[in-house]
Amino acid sequence: MTDERVLTLWVIYESPSDYPGKFVVRRQHSTRRAVVIDLEAWVFDSMTEARTAIPEGLHNTGRYDTDDPAVVEVWI
């Protein structure tokens, strides 16, 4: 990352292609130029468990129609 401002998002996926049948949490870092998705993924059996990986104090923005279909929630 550069010295640019970085917005960190936490994204919960349901049954993504690399973990079918699981809930996956991935952290993303967005700048004006790019979105970088961490290679690390936290994998869970339920949405309730997946939410435990989200840091406290964040806000659930839901999802947008343009998001990957596996995206369930985005937290900022």
Q: Please give the average per-residue pLDDT across 50-75, as a whole number.
A: 95
- 75 forms beta bridges with 10, 60
* Whole-number Å distance between alpha carbons of 40 and 65: 25
* Whole-number Å distance between alpha carbons of 53 and 67: 21
pLDDT band at 37; cut points 50, 70, 90: confident
Q: Where are the domains of the chain?
A: 7-75
pLDDT at 2: 54
